[in-house]
């Protein structure tokens, strides 16, 4: 009898941590990745990784508060038990990475140093220079290499995952992949397939993501019947450097270390920014959000920068939208030591030293909060039951998803430095459950199943491939179609969303998808044919693009990264206390109605006609009841007062379950 | 010939001093359809846009898929991922310098040489196709030298050892090595190994033969530097001797001729020759102490 094997698709933080943990548990693992795993997109992460630490703990911090910040930042759209479990694991994960040799920055006494990131008031973020993701990924890559030399892990690098193989009962029994060099298509029997394929930013053309972040693997799983959750929630990072091929991120850590965002009060003031006196600078985030200042949550920073440039006409440049991100008041030594890596990126690509001259930045698509729907098993204390095969499994038995390609941890908006944590956490946490599933999987090892199952799947993909190569010349150009798709998506489904624009965009995406069916290849060979690989990825972008646009169109509210001005709940306008009070009551009524109606996960499935259908599912908010996010709203104090009275007035049983009672009062609502 | 200077050296704003940059420019690419085929030059013309780098040039060429002469050709194959010089994928020889294509800015390249941009694959690794090379050997060196921390396991065992700021600042640059291979391409001691599959050889047999070839030839500066990274880590130091022994085997540190080309081309400015110097001394000490039975 053959031994069972697990196929892990993707070798970013999630795929690597799952693989090494499985290997430790004695499971044989195959890894498949488009790039050598060491070159995965996770290396781009700059800022850091969040966890409660001994210092913040003494300042009143706790795992519960990290959990609270995460769900509050995510506008309560996450299932709470997995998030709670993640926050609980945080400190142990940092310790493990520390033991694996990650070169975290140190305090003079030799402890790990921490910085502050957006959406929290604590210095929770551990970091390794400005290349934290690279350092974390390398530590895991090294461990996987160690297991490779022991024969427990086998890598298939430069392979494209084409889709899962499901048996007659709909259980995942392996997958099909294609060798990017020889173009060989092969079926891999596997008793579990883990998809850890990262984000889908390339659907927007240019983003802060790497070139393999097309979402192709997730889309192929979606096409096989997996549910896709919260697709419309796409994070636009407030600060990126515009470029011709990519929008390069300027990490939030630049603000974490004291960077200040401003525009000249006089529109397009032509002076050298250093010559503009303090009084003539508009530090709009600091003025509008005195409590969080430049470190308001991402969705808010993004919208403010966007608004200042577009509606208020205060962009630094006339032809290009951008604001200043200023570090010049900080000492060179500190900047070099803490931000060296990211400042070099700016210098390298802009030819200007950000230590001397304020940087010019603008928002860019950055992260997909949505992704493959995954399950979990709740424990008695509101966390997860570790070792449950349900953790991180999609609705297809035997097919797991983790890392940025799942929908689980970040709700409507991700907090900075929480993603590296969720990726490593989901990989480590899910492994024992996968091992348990292997023990119970029906019908023996996949490798012993009749080969017809795998031959059939392989043939199907081979035919698709051959069909693409045979397309007649002179049709549509896949690279240009990709650019067009990016333009449509960026216009309709980023910072500010309008239903008419979204409706139009849906039509445009459908039209592009049809045109893509007519695109022809400029390379019809069968050796390192990047043209056909790209075209396949492009074709698989359309279903997810539709999921994003349709989800956004249908969701008539504002939540986290999804902002529709038409449905915004503005602050109070009355000036007299009684009037304000009345307005606050109405505001809270509306908030409650909206929560009732829209605090639901968007769940997309691919219909038989190739169009996504959307339904909504309950969210487990039993641990921390939803409350309004009032960052910077006029009248926030009054609304907060009314809100608190209502919470107190409620009988305990009414309070969305019982988890909230007895827990520390979570972080106070942000005041205006 | 391989140049020893790093292509990044040209100063920013150099363009302003000379003649205005052209609206379009030629790109001359050394192409090769497959490993056992001959290479050939091909010329493409690209319109200049603001903020272009060599990757965006290759993207335009892929979209055009047409040479200067108007001949329709397959798009040039190349490797990249991060586009911000942290993944190490996009190494190639740009205007004679081995470097990352993603940080090769067109305006600066044209300021140095307004006529054309020349792209070639790396020299020390077998060409897969066009600008894509096979760098498996580079990763094999990391396996061979066991460059990792051999922790007991992944269960919680508290934090790692305390590390001084000084030690962290020394280790951090070494841990930025992105396995790009520039240091290897520039090294006179690092010679290309290109094996062809024999008739009837299985994947496993070929991989085994290839590994044997890799393991007897020079590991290269990047791997030596990684050994020093792990040997100087408090936990890694517990198995430092084993790594030093491996570094003294065939293809080890003794193959380094101290030409210092590596350090000049490393895009991450990793102090490779410092690592090599330290490794040299450490292996000598290790050899002597073993000689005396301890
Ligand atoms: C510029 C930038 C900076 C960031 N900084 C931070 C930060 O400071 N803190 C933080 O917490 N988060 C940060 N993030 C987010 C974080 O980096 C990512 O969410 C995270 O690294 C994703 O890891 P992953 O393991 O899910 O996937 P990835 O690292 O994206 O890896 C995906 C893997 O899947 C493989 N793959 C994909 N498709 C296929 C296919 N079809 N076939 C085979 N293999 C495939 C790829 O080859 C790759 O190995 C940042 C993101 C960006 C873009
Ligand atoms: S110093 Fe050694 S490793 Fe570096 S280039 Fe010279 S011979 Fe190669
Ligand atoms: S040492 Fe430098 S040149 Fe060599 S592989 Fe590492 S990063 Fe590249
Ligand atoms: S693409 Fe990653 S280093 Fe150039």
Kindly determine whether residue A523 and residue B164, on different chains, have CB atoms separated by under 8 Å.
Answer: no
Shortest-distance atom of ligand 3 to CA B91: 8
Q: Inform me whether the C-beta atom of residue A351 falls under 8 Å from chain B C-beta atoms.
A: yes
For range B269-286, the mean pLDDT: 96
For range B7-30, the mean pLDDT: 66
Q: Inform me whether the C-beta atom of residue A38 falls under 8 Å from chain B C-beta atoms.
A: yes
Per-residue b or e along A356-375, where b marks 16 or more CB atoms closer than 10 Å to that residue's CB: ebbbbbbbbbbbbbbbbbbb
Query: Across chain B, what does the average pLDDT equal?
Result: 92
Question: What pLDDT, on the 0 to 100 scale, is given for residue B15?
Answer: 41
Kindly determine whether residue B163 and residue A242, on different chains, have CB atoms separated by under 8 Å.
Answer: no
- Residue B2 confidence class, pLDDT cut points 50, 70, 90: very low
CA B76 to chain centre: 20
Question: What pLDDT, on the 0 to 100 scale, is given for residue A47?
Answer: 84
Residues A315 and A373 in one domain: no
Q: Which of A242-256, A391-405, B103-117 has the highest mean pLDDT?
A: A391-405
Which two structure tokens, joined as six digits, stand for A297?
């949550």
Q: Is the dihedral of CA A470, A474, A480, A484 positive or negative?
A: negative
Question: What pLDDT, on the 0 to 100 scale, is given for residue B294?
Answer: 59
Residues A359 and A376 in one domain: no
Contacts of B128 in chain A (CB under 8 A): 181, 528
CB atoms near residue A167 (< 10 Å): 17
Kindly determine whether residue B49 and residue A244, on different chains, have CB atoms separated by under 8 Å.
Answer: yes
Q: Is the CB of B135 under 6 A from ligand 3?
A: no
Per-residue b or e along A598-636, where b marks 16 or more CB atoms closer than 10 Å to that residue's CB: bbbbbbbbbeeeeebebeeeebbbbbbbbbbbbbbbebb
Q: Which residues contact A125 (CB under 8 A, 6 or more apart)?
A: A47, A48, A49, A50, A114, A115, A116, A117, A253, A256, A416, A417
**What are the residue boundaries of the structural domains of chain B, listed by start?**
24-129, 135-292
Closest residue by Cα to atom 2, ligand 2, is B256
DSSP calls for A54-82: HHHHHTT--HHHHHHHHHHHTTT-S-HHH
A539 pLDDT higher than 80: yes
Query: Across chain A, what does the average pLDDT equal?
Result: 93
Report which DSSP code applies to B13.
T
Could you tell me the distance, in angstroms and rounded to a whole number, from the CA of residue A344 to the centre of ligand 2?
26
Residues A350 and A402 in one domain: no
Shortest-distance atom of ligand 3 to CA B88: 8
A657 pLDDT higher than 50: no
Q: ipTM of the predicted structure?
A: 0.94
CB B31 within 8 A of CB B71: no
Which two structure tokens, joined as six digits, stand for B250?
């065939």
Residues A110 and A53 in one domain: yes
Tens-digit pLDDT profile for residues B108-145: 999 999 989 999 999 999 999 999 999 999 999 999 99
Could you tell me the distance, in angstroms and rounded to a whole number, from the CA of residue A558 to the centre of ligand 2?
58
The residue to which tokens 């889709």 are assigned: A163
CB atoms near residue A3 (< 10 Å): 10
Which two structure tokens, joined as six digits, stand for A589?
């009524």
- CATH number of the domain residue A388 falls in: 3.50.50.60
B217 pLDDT higher than 90: yes
Question: What pLDDT, on the 0 to 100 scale, is given for residue B19?
Answer: 67
Kindly determine whether residue B164 and residue A480, on different chains, have CB atoms separated by under 8 Å.
Answer: no
CA distance A157 to A245: 25
Question: What pLDDT, on the 0 to 100 scale, is given for residue A651?
Answer: 53
Residues A32 and A181 in one domain: yes
Domain B135-292 grouped into CATH 1.10.1060.10: yes
Tens-digit pLDDT profile for residues A335-347: 988 888 788 888 8
Query: Which phi and psi (to 5°) does residue A6 adopt?
Result: -115, 135
Strands A49-50 and A28-33, bridge-based pairing: unpaired
CB atoms near residue B238 (< 10 Å): 12
Of B81, B163, B236, the CB nearest to A110: B163
Expressed in angstroms, the distance from the first to the final Cα of chain B is 46
Question: What pLDDT, on the 0 to 100 scale, is given for residue A235?
Answer: 95
Contacts of B53 in chain A (CB under 8 A): 243-245, 349
Out of A173, A298, A303, A458, pick the active-site residue.
A298
- CATH number of the domain residue A359 falls in: 3.90.700.10
Residues A28 and A174 in one domain: yes
Residue A460 lies in a domain: no
Residues A183 and A59 in one domain: yes
Could you tell me the distance, in angstroms and rounded to a whole number, from the CA of residue A39 to the centre of ligand 4?
9
Test the A interface: residue of B46, B74, B121 with most A CBs within 10 Å: B74
CA distance to partner chain A, nearest, from residue B164 (Å):
5
Query: Superfamily assignment of B24-129 in CATH?
Result: Beta-grasp domain (3.10.20.30)
A283 burial (CB, 10 Å; 0-12 / 13-18 / 19+) is: middle
Say which ligand is closest to the CA of B181. 3
CA distance A576 to A583: 11
* Domain total in chain A: 4
Residues A227 and A89 in one domain: yes
CB A551 within 8 A of CB A231: yes
Closest residue by Cα to atom 30, ligand 1, is A198
Question: What pLDDT, on the 0 to 100 scale, is given for residue B214?
Answer: 98
Residue A381 lies in a domain: yes
Residues A490 and A419 in one domain: no
A477 pLDDT higher than 70: yes
Tens-digit pLDDT profile for residues A282-326: 999 999 998 889 988 788 899 999 889 888 889 998 878 899 999
CA distance to partner chain A, nearest, from residue B42 (Å):
16
A270 burial (CB, 10 Å; 0-12 / 13-18 / 19+) is: exposed
Nearest residue to B109 via CA among B128, B94, B127? B94
Residue A462 lies in a domain: no
- Residue B18 confidence class, pLDDT cut points 50, 70, 90: low
Strands A248-249 and B24-32, bridge-based pairing: unpaired
CB atoms near residue A88 (< 10 Å): 20
Question: What pLDDT, on the 0 to 100 scale, is given for residue B115?
Answer: 86
Question: What pLDDT, on the 0 to 100 scale, is given for residue A653?
Answer: 43
Q: Which residues contact B160 (CB under 8 A, 6 or more apart)?
A: A95, A98, A99, A100, A101, B234, B235
Q: Do domains B24-129 and B135-292 have the same CATH topology?
A: no
Question: What pLDDT, on the 0 to 100 scale, is given for residue A318?
Answer: 84
Say which ligand is closest to the CA of B190. 2
Which two structure tokens, joined as six digits, stand for B277?
């110097």
Question: What pLDDT, on the 0 to 100 scale, is given for residue B158?
Answer: 96
Of B49, B142, B162, the CB nearest to A110: B162
The residue to which tokens 């081979």 are assigned: A462
For range B105-109, the mean pLDDT: 93
Contacts of B148 in chain A (CB under 8 A): 100-101, 142-143, 145-146
Residues in contact with ligand 4 (CB, 6 Å cut-off): B 80-83, 85, 87-90, 100, 102
Residue A569 lies in a domain: no
CA distance A469 to A265: 57
Nearest residue to A389 via CA among A191, A163, A165? A191
- CATH number of the domain residue A524 falls in: 1.20.58.100
CA distance A305 to A216: 31
Q: Which residues contact B68 (CB under 8 A, 6 or more apart)?
A: B26, B43, B44, B45
Tens-digit pLDDT profile for residues A544-590: 999 999 999 999 999 999 999 999 999 999 999 999 999 999 999 99
A348 pLDDT higher than 90: no
For range B67-87, the mean pLDDT: 95
CA distance A591 to A17: 40
Adjacent-strand bridge partners of A106? A112
Q: Is the CB of B224 under 6 A from ligand 2?
A: no
Tens-digit pLDDT profile for residues A164-204: 999 999 999 999 999 999 999 999 999 999 999 999 999 99
Tens-digit pLDDT profile for residues A395-438: 999 999 999 999 999 999 999 899 999 999 999 999 999 999 99
Kindly determine whether residue B148 and residue A146, on different chains, have CB atoms separated by under 8 Å.
Answer: yes
Of A109, A128, A522, the CB nearest to B172: A128
Tens-digit pLDDT profile for residues B150-188: 999 999 999 999 999 999 999 999 999 999 999 999 999
Q: CA Rg, chain A, in Å? A: 25
Residue A110 lies in a domain: yes
Could you tell me the distance, in angstroms and rounded to a whole number, from the CA of residue B190 to the centre of ligand 2?
8
> Candidates B88, B133, B177, B220: which one to mutate for ligand 3, based on the most atoms within 8 Å of Cβ?
B177
Cα angle, residue B239 at apex, residues B235 and B244 outer, rounded to 5°: 130
B4 pLDDT higher than 50: no
Question: What pLDDT, on the 0 to 100 scale, is given for residue A252?
Answer: 83
Strands B39-47 and A359-368, bridge-based pairing: unpaired
Q: Which residues contact B74 (CB under 8 A, 6 or more apart)?
A: A522, A523, A524, A525, A529, A531, B65
Which two structure tokens, joined as six digits, stand for B109?
């390249």
Q: Which of A233-247, B179-193, B220-234 has the lowest mean pLDDT?
A: A233-247
Residue of B nearest to A109 (CA): B164
Q: Is the CB of B272 under 6 A from ligand 3?
A: yes
A6 pLDDT higher than 80: yes
For range B214-241, the mean pLDDT: 97
Helix (H, G, I), strand (E, B) or coil at B204: helix
Q: Is the CB of A45 under 6 A from ligand 1?
A: yes
Could you tell me the distance, in angstroms and rounded to a whole number, from the CA of residue B55 to the centre of ligand 4?
9
| Residue A340 lies in domain | 238-363
Kindly determine whether residue B165 and residue A107, on different chains, have CB atoms separated by under 8 Å.
Answer: yes
Residue A566 lies in a domain: no
> Candidates A93, A254, A423, A461: which one to mutate for ligand 1, based on the most atoms within 8 Å of Cβ?
A423
3-state SS track over A593-659: HHHHHHCEEEEEEECCCCCEEEEEEECCCCCCCCCCCCCCCCCHHHHHHHHHHHHHHCCHHHCCCCC
Question: What pLDDT, on the 0 to 100 scale, is given for residue A163?
Answer: 98
Q: Which residues contact A640 (CB under 8 A, 6 or more apart)?
A: A628, A630, A668, A669, A671
Domain boundary (A554, A584, A618) is at A554
B3 pLDDT higher than 50: no
Contacts of A530 in chain B (CB under 8 A): 62, 75, 77-78
Question: What pLDDT, on the 0 to 100 scale, is given for residue A198?
Answer: 98
Say which ligand is closest to the CA of B220. 2
Question: What pLDDT, on the 0 to 100 scale, is given for residue A345?
Answer: 83
> Could you confirm whether A298 is annotated as catalytic?
yes
Of A24, A242, A345, the CB nearest to B84: A345
Residue A79 lies in a domain: yes
B1 pLDDT higher than 80: no
């Amino acid at each position: 009898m053959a031994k069972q094997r697990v196929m892990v698709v993707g070798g970013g933080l999630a795929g690597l941590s799952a693989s090494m943990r499985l290997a430790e548990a004695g499971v044989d693992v195959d890894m498949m990745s488009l790039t050598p795993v060491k070159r995965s997109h996770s290396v781009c992460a700059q800022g850091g990784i969040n966890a409660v630490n001994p210092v913040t703990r003494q300042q009143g911090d706790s795992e519960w508060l990290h959990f609270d910040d995460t769900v509050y930042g995510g506008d309560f759209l996450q299932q709470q038990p997995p998030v709670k479990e993640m926050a609980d694991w945080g400190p142990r994960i940092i310790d493990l990475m520390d033991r694996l040799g990650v070169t975290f920055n140190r305090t003079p006494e030799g402890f790990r140093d921490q910085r502050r990131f957006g959406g929290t008031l604590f210095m929770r973020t551990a970091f390794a220079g400005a290349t934290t993701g690279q350092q974390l990924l390398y530590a895991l890559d090294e461990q996987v290499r160690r297991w490779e030399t022991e024969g427990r892990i086998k890598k298939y690098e430069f392979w494209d995952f084409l889709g899962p193989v499901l048996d007659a009962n709909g259980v995942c029994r392996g997958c099909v992949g294609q060798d990017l060099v020889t173009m060989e298509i092969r079926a891999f029997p596997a008793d579990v397939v883990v998809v850890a394929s990262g984000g889908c930013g390339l659907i927007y053309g240019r983003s802060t993501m790497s070139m393999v972040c097309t979402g192709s693997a997730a889309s192929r799983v979606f096409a096989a019947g997996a549910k896709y959750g919260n697709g419309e929630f796409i994070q636009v990072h407030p600060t990126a450097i515009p470029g011709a091929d990519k929008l390069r991120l300027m990490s939030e850590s630049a603000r974490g270390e004291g960077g200040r965002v401003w525009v000249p009060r006089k529109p397009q003031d032509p002076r050298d920014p250093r010559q503009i006196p303090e009084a003539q600078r508009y530090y709009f985030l600091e003025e509008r959000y005195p409590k969080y200042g430049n470190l308001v949550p991402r969705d808010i920073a993004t919208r403010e920068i966007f608004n200042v440039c577009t509606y208020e006409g205060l962009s630094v440049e006339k032809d290009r939208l951008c604001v200043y991100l200023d570090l010049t008041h900080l000492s060179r030594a500190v900047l070099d030591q803490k931000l060296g890596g990211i400042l070099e990126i700016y210098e390298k690509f802009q030819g200007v030293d950000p230590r001397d001259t304020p940087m010019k930045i603008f928002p860019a698509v950055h992260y997909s909060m949505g992704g493959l729907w995954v399950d979990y098993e709740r424990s008695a204390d509101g966390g997860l039951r570790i070792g449950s095969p349900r953790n991180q499994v999609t609705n297809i038995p035997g097919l797991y998803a983790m890392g940025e390609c799942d929908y689980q941890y970040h709700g409507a908006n991700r907090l900075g430095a929480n993603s590296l944590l969720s990726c490593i956490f989901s990989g480590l946490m899910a492994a024992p459950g996968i091992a348990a599933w292997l023990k119970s999987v029906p019908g023996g090892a996949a490798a012993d199943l009749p080969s017809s199952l795998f031959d059939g799947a392989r043939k199907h993909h081979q035919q698709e491939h051959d069909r693409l190569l045979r397309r007649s010349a002179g049709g549509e150009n896949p690279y240009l179609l990709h650019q067009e798709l990016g333009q449509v998506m960026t216009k309709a489904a980023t910072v500010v969303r309008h239903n008419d624009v979204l409706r139009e965009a849906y039509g445009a995406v459908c039209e592009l998808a049809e045109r893509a069916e007519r695109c022809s290849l400029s390379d019809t060979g069968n050796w390192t044919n990047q043209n056909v690989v790209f075209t396949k990825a492009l074709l698989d972008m359309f279903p997810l693009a539709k999921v994003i646009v349709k989800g956004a169109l249908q969701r008539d509210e504002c939540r986290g990264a999804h902002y529709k001005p038409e449905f915004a709940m503005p602050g109070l306008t009355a000036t007299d206390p009684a009037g304000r009070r009345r307005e606050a009551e109405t505001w809270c009524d509306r908030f409650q109605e909206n929560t009732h109606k829209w605090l639901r996960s968007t769940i997309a499935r691919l219909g038989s006609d190739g169009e996504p259908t959307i339904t909504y599912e309950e969210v487990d908010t039993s641990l921390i009841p939803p409350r309004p996010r009032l960052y910077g709203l006029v009248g926030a104090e009054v609304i907060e007062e009314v809100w608190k009275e209502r919470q107190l007035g409620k009988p305990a049983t009414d309070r969305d379950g019982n988890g909230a009672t007895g827990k520390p009062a979570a972080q106070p609502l942000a005041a205006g | 010939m391989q140049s020893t200077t790093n292509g990044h050296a040209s100063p920013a704003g150099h363009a302003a001093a000379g003649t205005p940059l052209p609206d379009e420019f030629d790109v001359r690419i050394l192409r090769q359809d497959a490993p056992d085929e001959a290479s050939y030059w091909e010329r493409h013309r690209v319109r200049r846009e603001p903020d272009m780098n060599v990757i965006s040039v290759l993207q335009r060429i892929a979209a055009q898929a047409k040479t200067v002469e108007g001949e329709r050709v397959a798009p040039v194959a190349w490797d990249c991922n991060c586009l911000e010089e942290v993944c190490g994928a996009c190494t190639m020889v740009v205007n004679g310098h081995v470097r990352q294509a993603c940080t090769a800015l067109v305006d600066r390249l044209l300021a140095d040489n307004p006529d054309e941009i020349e792209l070639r694959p790396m020299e020390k690794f077998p060409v897969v196709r066009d600008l894509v090379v096979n760098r498996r050997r580079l990763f094999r060196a990391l396996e061979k030298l066991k460059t990792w921390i051999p922790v007991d396991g992944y269960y919680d065992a508290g934090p790692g050892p305390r590390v001084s700021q000084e030690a962290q600042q020394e280790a951090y640059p070494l841990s930025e090595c992105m396995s790009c291979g520039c240091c290897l391409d520039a090294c006179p001691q690092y010679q290309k190994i290109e094996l062809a599959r024999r008739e009837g050889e299985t994947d496993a047999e070929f991989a085994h033969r290839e590994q044997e070839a890799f393991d007897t030839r020079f590991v290269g500066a990047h791997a030596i530097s990684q050994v020093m990274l792990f040997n100087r880590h408090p936990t890694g130091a517990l198995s430092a001797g084993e790594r030093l022994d491996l570094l003294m085997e065939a293809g080890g540190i003794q193959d380094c001729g101290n030409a210092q080309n590596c350090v000049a081309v490393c895009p991450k400015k990793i102090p490779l020759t410092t690592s090599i110097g330290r490794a040299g001394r450490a292996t000598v000490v290790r050899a002597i102490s073993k000689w005396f039975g301890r």
